[in-house]
């Protein structure tokens, strides 16, 4: 356990031209490895906010209706982070027949992770490698070495197949490609949206988790932030399931700020150990 306390938050600004409904996914999930000690979600002007929790994909929603005019949404939380670290050298994959029913959807192709279209490439690059943690690490290394991290090179419709072809992208694209490669070699993988310590410039971050030996483990092929400083907002099959804002109505996004600071405990570090987001056995 790394045991550190952080303050995370964001401010999102919109111009609303008419009655609109908003659904936000910016709140930290409270679970066994990240404890939310305090938090607040506020809107300016003040609107009645309804909160809901999706236990299937482990994410929270804040929703409300807004009238026309400027809108500011602010979220802040104090979070105690306690990832479980272990040696990953001999961490095996879970054979398909042993994958729980709730994990099976993360084996299938999805909107932005067309694993069925990348099987040939994945098998060529990773099919003969040692199975388990080391193979997922090899997938991350391949993406880091072969795909350029280039802001502005992609758009919200860019998929894993596009990234494999163009060899450029941002954190979202790196995660999608890694997920697609994992699924193509029969490793369940899911998209994670979160806050990241020391990410520059500060922003929401995308990474992924792979299902190994009966649990979920964090991986980040961008290497832009220490893995022990990642705080989960939500998980899904791909980015379509974890959008930080969904708007129904005439509203325009104008600006945002995202922040994460260390309050107490050791600063996050990069590690080659396996980081589990499942309860240790």
Question: Of residues 48 and 1, which shows the higher confidence score?
Answer: 48
Q: Is the dihedral of CA 245, 279, 144, 160 positive or negative?
A: negative
Helical (H) or strand (E) element with 46: none
- Per domain, the residue ranges of the chain are 4-82+245-263, 86-242
Q: Which CATH architecture has domain 4-82+245-263?
A: Sandwich (2.60)
Indicate the pTM of the whole model.
Answer: 0.95
Pick from 193, 266, 280: which is nearest to 232 by CA? 193
Three-state secondary structure call for residue 4: strand
What does the pLDDT look like over 14-50, one tens digit per residue?
Answer: 999 999 999 999 999 999 899 999 999 999 999 999 9
CATH number, span 86-242: 3.10.620.30
Q: Is the dihedral of CA 117, 120, 126, 130 positive or negative?
A: positive
What does the pLDDT look like over 86-110, one tens digit per residue?
Answer: 999 889 999 999 999 999 999 999 9
């Amino acid at each position: 356990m790394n045991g550190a306390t952080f303050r995370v938050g964001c401010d999102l600004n919109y111009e609303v031209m008419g009655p609109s409904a908003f659904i936000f996914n910016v709140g930290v999930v409270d679970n066994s490895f990240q404890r939310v000690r305090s938090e607040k979600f506020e809107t300016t002007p003040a609107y009645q906010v309804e909160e809901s929790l999706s236990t299937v994909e482990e994410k929270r929603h804040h929703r409300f209706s807004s009238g026309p005019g400027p809108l500011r949404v602010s979220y802040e939380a104090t979070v105690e982070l306690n990832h479980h670290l272990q040696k990953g050298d001999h961490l095996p994959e879970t054979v398909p027949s042993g994958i729980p029913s709730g994990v099976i959807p993360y084996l299938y192709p999805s909107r932005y992770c067309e694993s069925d279209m990348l099987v040939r490439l994945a098998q060529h690059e990773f099919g003969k490698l040692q199975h388990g943690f080391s193979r997922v690490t090899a997938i991350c290394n391949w993406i880091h070495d072969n795909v350029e991290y280039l802001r502005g090179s992609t758009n919200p419709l860019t998929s894993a197949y596009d990234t494999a072809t163009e060899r450029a992208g941002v954190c979202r694209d790196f995660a999608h490609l890694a997920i697609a490669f994992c699924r193509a070699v029969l490793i369940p993988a899911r998209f994670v949206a979160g806050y990241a310590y020391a990410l520059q410039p500060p922003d929401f971050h995308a990474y992924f988790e792979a299902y190994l030996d009966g649990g979920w483990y964090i991986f980040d092929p961008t290497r832009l932030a220490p893995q022990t400083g990642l705080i989960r907002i939500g998980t899904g099959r791909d980015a379509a399931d974890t959008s930080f804002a969904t708007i129904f109505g005439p509203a325009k996004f104008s600006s945002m700020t995202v922040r994460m600071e260390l309050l107490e405990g050791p600063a996050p570090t990069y590690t080659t150990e396996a980081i589990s987001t499942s309860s240790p056995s």
